[in-house]
């Protein structure tokens, strides 16, 4: 990976819809050369996907939170992951080191739904303890890979 590949990745991480012609103009290559570089970055797994980032509020999901979860000793990671897959409010789950086993990112319609999700995690997913924090604002800091 060279400097131009890094420039292309930086542009695509902020504007995934940027076309090959515009990418080429911005990195001073032809559209065909940029297209080949992007195809190579996809093929080798550097670019994992292209997707739309949807504003949760536009879908009526106005409460975003992080829930840290400590599993019961009798609950395996696989069992927990299977249980949370059934909860559409859980957007991501990261297995962590430290005091808690998982950090969940959830999006809910309101605080009542957040309480319901938290209770479901405790009662049906094998959580021994949870610690929730509502996200007030998130600032994206990483622009260039």
pLDDT tens-digit map of 76-112:
999 999 999 999 999 999 999 999 999 999 999 999 9
Q: State whether residue 130 is helix, strand or coil.
A: strand
56 contacts 64 by C-beta, under 8 angstroms: yes
What does pTM read for this prediction?
0.78
Task: Report the candidate in 113, 115, 112, 109 with the shortest Cα–Cα distance to residue 57.
Answer: 109
Mean pLDDT of 37-57: 92
Q: Can you point out the beta strands (E) in 53-121?
A: 63-71, 90-95, 102-108
Domain 56-134 has CATH 3.30.70.920: yes
Q: Name all contacts of 111-115 with Cβ < 8 Å and 24+ positions apart.
A: 111/63, 113/63, 113/89, 114/63, 114/65
Q: What is the pLDDT of residue 144?
A: 54
Q: What is the pLDDT of residue 68?
A: 98
26 contacts 11 by C-beta, under 8 angstroms: yes
- Give the start-to-end residue ranges of the domains of the chain: 3-43, 56-134
CATH of domain 3-43: 1.10.10.10
């Amino acid at each position: 990976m060279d400097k131009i590949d890094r420039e292309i990745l930086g542009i695509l991480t902020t504007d995934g819809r940027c076309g090959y012609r515009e990418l080429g103009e911005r990195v001073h290559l032809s559209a065909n050369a940029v297209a080949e570089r992007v195809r190579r970055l996809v093929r080798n797994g550097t670019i994992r996907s292209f997707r739309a980032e949807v504003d949760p509020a536009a879908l009526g999901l106005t409460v975003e939170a992080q829930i840290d979860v400590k599993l019961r000793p009798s609950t395996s990671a696989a069992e927990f992951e299977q249980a949370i897959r059934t909860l559409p409010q859980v957007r991501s789950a990261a297995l962590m080191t430290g005091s808690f086993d998982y950090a969940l990112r959830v999006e809910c319609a309101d605080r009542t739904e957040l309480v319901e999700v938290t209770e479901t995690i405790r009662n049906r997913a094998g959580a021994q303890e949870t610690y929730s924090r509502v996200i007030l604002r998130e600032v994206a800091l990483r622009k260039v890979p």
